[in-house]
Amino acid sequence: MLLFKDNLLSENFSDLSQTEWLETNGLGGWSSSSLTGCNTRRYHGLLMAAIVPPAQRMLLVSKLDETIVVEGKKYELGTNDYGDAISPRGFQYLKSFRKDFFPEWTYEIPGILLRKTITMVQAENTTLIHYEVLRAENGFTMQWLPLIAARGYHQLQHAYNNIFWDVDFNHGLFHNQPYQGAPDIYISIPGSRFTPVNKWYYRFNYEMEKYRGLDYQEDLFNHGVFSADLRQGDSLYLILSTEDPSGKNPKTLFDREKNHRISILQGVPGDLLRQLVLAADQFVVKRNVFEVADPTKPVALKTVIAGYHWFTDWGRDTMISLPGLCLATGRFEDARKIIAAFAKSVSMGMLPNRFTDNQDPPEYNNADGTLWYFNAVYAYLQATDDREFVIQEILPVLKDIIDWHFKGTRFNIHVDQDGLLYAGLPGQQLTWMDARIGSWVVTPRMGKPVEIEALWYNALKIFASLLTLQGEEEAAEAISEKADHAKNSFEQKYWYEKGNYLYDNLDENGNPDPALRPNQLFAISLPFHLIEGEKANAVLDTVRAKLCTPVGLRSLSPDDPKYSGHYGGSPFSRDSVYHQGTVWSWLLGPWIDAGMKVKGEAFRPEAQEIIDRFSFHINEACIGSISEIFDGDAPHLPRGCIAQAWSVAEILRVVKHYSLFHAGS
């Protein structure tokens, strides 16, 4: 389970700054940066608070740069990028990094060895930092320079904005409200002294924002400098919080967080699976859900953050992730709360595509998230046998969804005469391949996308099985007939004889799209399959030959003229290739499912090899988690979000379900 990087004194800044760490608080907030401590993204910071969980995130404390003063000589442990200079260069003192339960750094300067550990407190906007003086030939003074951002997480701070200078400092506790209406900032450093400064630091450069073609320079404000005297054997806990920490014991908080992580790992075999379980814990968060029927009454339930650092909770991502994040980890109560939360937000037979960041009404622009809901409910029932909840509370919601799909709902989503589900309007992106630039939908797929039909067929089969469970045999039979009709139409229309695989879409005029994409796997991988035998084997062979990489499946074949093997540059450049060859690691889940369903145990060695080849990534980009996407071309560098829910969930799910434990064991 231990992830370890040693001898970092010999590493260069560029390599270390491209590896990141992440701690979360179960509210949608986080603490995160690069291994060097140099913030390379606008989303990096020590205290990113979720003001209205899991949204309205604010970066309050960007950095807390440390300096050791010993015998009159200063050693600055912080690292900052000012564009034309890296200053200070504290990464030169970084001896090692390790992640067991928490990220942990060891710094070495002449005569002193110092260990730093960071975590967040669950259900609080609170970051804890623990310093341990492992070796010190003489006593020394440690100084901390807090750099305040006090801004929304998508924004950047600049010196022409006002930040209040007013500070209360008593008995090691700093308090400031950066502006009227902003959250309070508390910094507790027991035994410390505070020297007021009140100045701006200018032009922090965020290299990853520059790479992404966005604004990348920020100014940060400093109220003053903390200092405290330390010696060998000392242990010092710091608290950064939006709440007054007076009376709280930081060691008790640290121990509570460690015990929480120990508890969720009970009985979990294999180092890789244990890291994935810890990663999964970061995505399940609290949300107040407002019922469609009565938007004045919030209900505190659970939801899933789609990815860190910039996503909130999305319906599609949540339903795809739920089996891996919750069911494979035994978090059945969380799964139930998530299913219930989304049930309360169904409107016109549709699940929200995403909840907004400012409590505006949810957005419902998707055709597949609602259908994935059936799959999540079905998986929950299989894992828990919680029939009362599913039949009494959820089945009426599913019936409403099915009814709306037959009579038609938003975005021209409706069942066609052939029994297949049609979805789409010009200018709308309704599937998971949802990139849009202005009015240009990059992968429009209007009509009858192949995975939508697989999901629709499964929704009908699952709904029929639940009706049977309730004793409504006649209604179940009627739905089963509609499912059979859809399957017969699918078999007639989707096989691409020349390519020996399935068409990706039938457009609004019924014309087939022969683009070779991974979406066809869902016709095999879902609980109720649409193809089998020779055709299923042919799909596997084609996908393996053209789409498979060591880190996931390409979203488009390299033979396609629209293929792009690199993801980067401006927002336009990135969005235009988001699903045009970019590799998605979450697709390894359905890929392994499809292989095991078609080939049975004969596929197990290949499935194990897939996981073994992938396992290096857990120690590559965000230590202990899985990235959202990768370049289509080798060496398949990680891109997008550094920690993505469905990436972690799907790898975790198949490792657990098929006992693929070799990697990292």
Q: Give the DSSP letter string of 340-399.
A: HHHHTT-BTTB--SB--SSSPPPB---SSHHHHHHHHHHHHHHHH--HHIIIIIIHHHHH
At the topology level, CATH places domain 265-657 in: Glycosyltransferase (1.50.10)
Q: How far apart are CA 344 and CA 325, in angstroms?
A: 21
Q: What angle do CA 48, 51, 52 make, to 5 degrees?
A: 135
The parts of the chain modelled with pLDDT lower than 50 are: 1
Sequence-distant (6+) residues with CB within 8 A of 32 are: 20, 21, 22, 23, 43, 44, 45, 48, 308, 309, 642
The token pair that represents 507 in the structure block = 């457009």
Fill in the DSSP letter of residue 446. -
**What pLDDT was estimated at residue 1?**
45
Alpha helix (H) residue ranges in 141-192 = none
Cβ atoms of residues 152 and 137 within 8 Å: no
Q: How far apart are CA 376 and CA 355, in angstroms?
A: 19
Neighbours of 16 (CB within 10 A): 19
The token pair that represents 129 in the structure block = 């930092």
Report which secondary-structure segment, H or E, holds 545: helix 533-546
**What pLDDT was estimated at residue 3?**
61
Alpha helix (H) residue ranges in 42-182 = none
The token pair that represents 253 in the structure block = 């908080």
pLDDT in tens, 336-366: 999 998 999 999 999 999 877 666 788 899 9
Top CATH class, 3-261: mainly beta
| SS3 (DSSP) at 275 | helix
In the chain, what are the domain boundaries?
3-261, 265-657
Q: Could you tell me the end-to-end alpha-carbon distance of the chain, in angstroms, rounded to an integer?
A: 8
Q: How far apart are CA 616 and CA 16, in angstroms?
A: 17
Q: How far apart are CA 399 and CA 576, in angstroms?
A: 38
CA neighbours closer than 13 Å in the CB half-sphere of residue 397 = 23
Number of H helices, E strands in the chain: 17, 37
- Please state the pTM of the whole predicted model: 0.95
**What pLDDT was estimated at residue 95?**
94
State which amino acid sits at residue 564: S
Q: How far apart are CA 22 and CA 41, in angstroms?
A: 13
Q: How far apart are CA 71 and CA 68, in angstroms?
A: 10
Cβ atoms of residues 285 and 54 within 8 Å: yes
**What pLDDT was estimated at residue 195?**
98
CA neighbours closer than 13 Å in the CB half-sphere of residue 40 = 21
Fill in the DSSP letter of residue 447. B
| SS3 (DSSP) at 568 | coil
The token pair that represents 198 in the structure block = 């009140």
Cβ atoms of residues 590 and 596 within 8 Å: no
Question: Which residue do the tokens 């630039």 mark?
Answer: 437
Cβ atoms of residues 84 and 208 within 8 Å: no
**What pLDDT was estimated at residue 439?**
85
Cβ atoms of residues 203 and 211 within 8 Å: no
**What pLDDT was estimated at residue 359?**
65
The token pair that represents 267 in the structure block = 């009985």
